[in-house]
Amino acid sequence: MVCPEPLFQVDVEELVDMEVRNSFARIFESFLHRQPLFKNKEALRHSYTPDELPHREEEINALATILAPALKGETPSNILIYGKSGTGKTIVSKFICRGLRETGKKYGVPISTVYLNCEVTDTQYRVLANLAKHFGENVPFTGWPTDKVYAAFKEAVDERRQNVIIILDEIDRLVSKGGDRVLYNLTRINSELQRARVSIIGISNNLKFTSYLDTRVQSSLGEEEIIFKPYNAKQLEDILKQRAELAFEPGVLDEYVIPLCAALAAREHGDARRALDLLRVSGEVAERENAEIITEIHVRKANEKIERDNVVEAVRTLPTQSKVLLYAVILLEERGTKFITTGKIYQVYKSLCRAVSIDSLTQRRISDLISELDMLGILNSTVISKGRYGRTREIKLEVPLKDIKRVVEEDIRLRSLSKFTLTQTRLI
């Protein structure tokens, strides 16, 4: 996500500013000889699982209590875990599963755990194929009938006596993409197994997602529910302190840095992931400035950088059609159009398509693309009714216009858009 700008370029600019032009050798020398700020940057990554998870004791206990029967060969209840992003759901689940496996190993109880992120593995087929692969079956990523994959998984799992715990992270993604049949199958699989037993841990940040499920799945999946509360600023501070000790050289952090990172992340619904990113990027910013100490200013800069980078990256990776659509909104915004509606956007969009000679999509499809951009937080759309003048969506740009305009124009196929003016359409 956050890709640091090349060190080289920035340093050169700075040197010119400082009117130090002797030689590049000096840059390299200083790079090599300056005191490092980081001791182990990995400790600030999301993927890092520390040995202790502060302020999640209750959740850990709850989860451990539910899963403990696996150690006696009994089948633990299925569990649903709810909580906003960065509240430790994933890390706690992985942490517990690791402990469970290790304890099982110690006492000779076979327990295997599988972690699947349903944002990537978002269909029935993919979930089953991944599970089957985990148990040694060779399933192609497409091609087989789903029943066959299911059978392959069942057979592989049932080869020996074992307790299997499947973690389905972002399980709500599965439902929104019609992969909920797999949940139905998985929750009933135990009745078809001879030796193995399967339990599911579903992780979701959407409290209401079960309402979209079949009632039978609802009740069997949600046998136990655990809710992860967001961290408050004080708790985030503790987490950051713990990681900072591992990540930074002693004495490089100004005393206000951690509280500020914690406070900024607490504003974002207590997101620990954001707090860690903030701390890491602050360090990187300071490093690039050749600073010896990381200060509040670096944190502020890091915060801006993270927000900008997120948006730019989101826009850069959009499909071409969405970029053209976004460009239509940008042009309308630049024109100061008061009510930007689906219809207006569609007309501008069509002329843009003509200008860059690509096929235009139907208004129905564009309506869906607008919703997607809304979900990404790039646009904001609200359905409004203008009485006699119809019901439509009022759409606003949610991100800095200049930044994203540049990003869209960078697309090779859309270069010529920069020359386009709205007078070419009869609108507005």
Minimum Å distance from CB 252 to DNA? 44
Minimum Å distance from CB 210 to DNA? 18
**206 contacts: CB under 8 Å, gap ≥ 6:** 82, 172
Nearer to DNA by Cβ, of 40 and 371: the residue is 371
Nearer to DNA by Cβ, of 344 and 405: the residue is 344
- Confirm or reject binding of residue 142 to DNA (CB under 7 A): yes
Site string for DNA, 383-412 (x = CB under 7 A): x-xxxxxxxxx-------------------
How far is the C-alpha of 389 from the C-alpha of 115, rounded, in Å? 51
Site string for DNA, 97-136 (x = CB under 7 A): -------------------------xxxxx----------
Minimum Å distance from CB 154 to DNA? 16
Residue 83 zone, left/alpha/beta (φ > 0; ψ -120 to 50; rest): left
Nearer to DNA by Cβ, of 45 and 148: the residue is 148
Site string for DNA, 291-320 (x = CB under 7 A): ----------------------------x-
Q: Which candidate, 93, 90, 17, places its Cα nearest to that of 62?
A: 93
Minimum Å distance from CB 132 to DNA? 12
Nearer to DNA by Cβ, of 180 and 277: the residue is 180
* Burial of residue 421, with CB atoms counted within 10 A of its CB: 0-12 exposed, 13-18 middle, 19 or more buried: exposed
Angle of helix 233-247 relative to helix 257-267, nearest 10 degrees, comes to: 130
- Confirm or reject binding of residue 351 to DNA (CB under 7 A): no
Kindly tell me which residue out of 344, 397, 417, 425 binds DNA, with binding defined by CB under 7 A.
Answer: 344
Three-state DSSP at 285 gives helix
Tell me which long-range contacts 379-384 makes (C-beta under 8 A, separation of at least 24).
Answer: 379/326, 379/329
Nearer to DNA by Cβ, of 329 and 369: the residue is 369
Kindly tell me which residue out of 161, 365, 406, 413 binds DNA, with binding defined by CB under 7 A.
Answer: 365
How far is the C-alpha of 355 from the C-alpha of 215, rounded, in Å? 51
Which amino acid, 243?
A: R
Measured on CA atoms in the order 308, 372, 417, 424, is the torsion positive or negative?
A: negative
Minimum Å distance from CB 343 to DNA? 2
For 230, the token pair is 């967001």
Do 48 and 192 touch, CB atoms closer than 8 A?
Answer: no
Do 361 and 321 touch, CB atoms closer than 8 A?
Answer: yes
Kindly tell me which residue out of 361, 379, 399, 408 binds DNA, with binding defined by CB under 7 A.
Answer: 361
145 to 174, contacts with DNA by CB under 7 A?
Answer: 145-147
Kindly tell me which residue out of 177, 234, 316, 413 binds DNA, with binding defined by CB under 7 A.
Answer: 177
Minimum Å distance from CB 148 to DNA? 8
What's the per-residue H, E or C state across 204-266? ECCCCHHHHCCHHHHHHHCCEEEECCCCCHHHHHHHHHHHHHHHECCCCECCCHHHHHHHHHH
- Confirm or reject binding of residue 143 to DNA (CB under 7 A): yes
**258 contacts: CB under 8 Å, gap ≥ 6:** 237, 240, 241, 244, 279
Nearer to DNA by Cβ, of 123 and 235: the residue is 123
Nearer to DNA by Cβ, of 262 and 373: the residue is 373
Nearer to DNA by Cβ, of 102 and 119: the residue is 119
- Confirm or reject binding of residue 321 to DNA (CB under 7 A): yes
Minimum Å distance from CB 126 to DNA? 6
How far is the C-alpha of 211 from the C-alpha of 228, rounded, in Å? 19
Q: Which candidate, 213, 137, 205, places its Cα nearest to that of 128?
A: 137
How far is the C-alpha of 190 from the C-alpha of 75, rounded, in Å? 9
Nearer to DNA by Cβ, of 88 and 179: the residue is 179
- Confirm or reject binding of residue 343 to DNA (CB under 7 A): yes
Nearer to DNA by Cβ, of 152 and 226: the residue is 152
Kindly report the backbone phi and psi dihedral angles of residue 373, in degrees, each rounded to the nearest multiple of 5, phi listed first: -65, -30
Residues that bind DNA in the complex, under the rule CB under 7 A: 122-126, 140-147, 177, 319, 321, 341-344, 360-365, 367-371, 383, 385-393
